[in-house]
């Protein structure tokens, strides 16, 4: 995935950089709704942070939180705000929030921040190429 903001430059504009996303499957998929996809955690390194969803006002939003992905994996039950259902279709995957069903990770344009949308494949790109080393 691309388009994660880095530090703002001196003019207050965000600097965007490519990142490597760590993907870990949920240890307890049977505790979640079946048939929606493979539940995964998404994290980055340096600093160790994970993507999660929380409601801000009336709308679910995508956030980054300082959190070790392996700590989430080691929990005795799924940590839903940090989980996404991955559905692979050909070379691309959609990523749906477990905590907020029917809300998907999306981007408006290449190299722009990722967001959550409830409009699958309409205004925003919701199909991502994920190269996962199984």
CATH number at residue 63: 2.80.10.50
pLDDT band, very low/low/confident/very high, at 5 (cuts 50, 70, 90): very low
**Mean pLDDT over each residue of the chain, to the nearest integer:** 86
Query: Which position has the higher pLDDT, 8 or 119?
Result: 119
> What's the pLDDT at 34?
94
Report the alpha-carbon distance of residue 128 to residue 134 in Å, rounded.
17
In a domain, 7, yes or no: no
Report the alpha-carbon distance of residue 66 to residue 43 in Å, rounded.
9
Specify whether the CB–CB gap between 34 and 84 falls below 8 A.
Answer: no
In a domain, 4, yes or no: no
SS3 of residue 8 by DSSP: strand
In a domain, 5, yes or no: no
The DSSP-derived string for 70-103 is: HHHHTSSS--GGGEEEEEEETTEEEEEESSSTT-
In a domain, 25, yes or no: yes
Number of domains in the chain: 1
Output the six-digit token pair for 14: 């965000």
Q: Give tens-digit pLDDT for 55-113.
A: 999 999 999 999 999 999 999 999 999 999 999 999 999 999 999 999 999 998 777 78
In a domain, 87, yes or no: yes
In a domain, 10, yes or no: no
What is the mean predicted confidence (pLDDT) over 113-131? 87
In a domain, 62, yes or no: yes
What is the mean predicted confidence (pLDDT) over 13-42? 85
In a domain, 48, yes or no: yes
Specify whether the CB–CB gap between 92 and 125 falls below 8 A.
Answer: no
> What's the pLDDT at 123?
85
**Structural domain that includes position 45:** 21-129
SS3 of residue 33 by DSSP: coil
């Amino acid at each position: 995935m691309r388009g994660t903001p880095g530090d703002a430059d001196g003019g207050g504009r965000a600097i965007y950089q490519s990142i490597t996303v760590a993907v870990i499957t949920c240890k307890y998929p049977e505790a979640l709704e079946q048939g929606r996809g493979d539940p995964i955690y998404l994290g980055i390194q340096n600093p160790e942070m994970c993507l999660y969803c929380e409601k801000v006002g009336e709308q679910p939003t995508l956030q980054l939180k300082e959190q070790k992905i392996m700590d989430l994996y080691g929990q005795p039950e799924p940590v839903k705000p940090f989980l996404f259902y991955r559905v692979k279709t050909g070379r691309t995957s959609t990523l749906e929030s477990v905590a907020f069903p029917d809300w998907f990770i999306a981007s408006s344009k290449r190299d722009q921040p990722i967001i959550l949308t409830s409009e699958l494949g309409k205004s925003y790109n919701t199909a991502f190429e994920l190269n996962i080393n199984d």
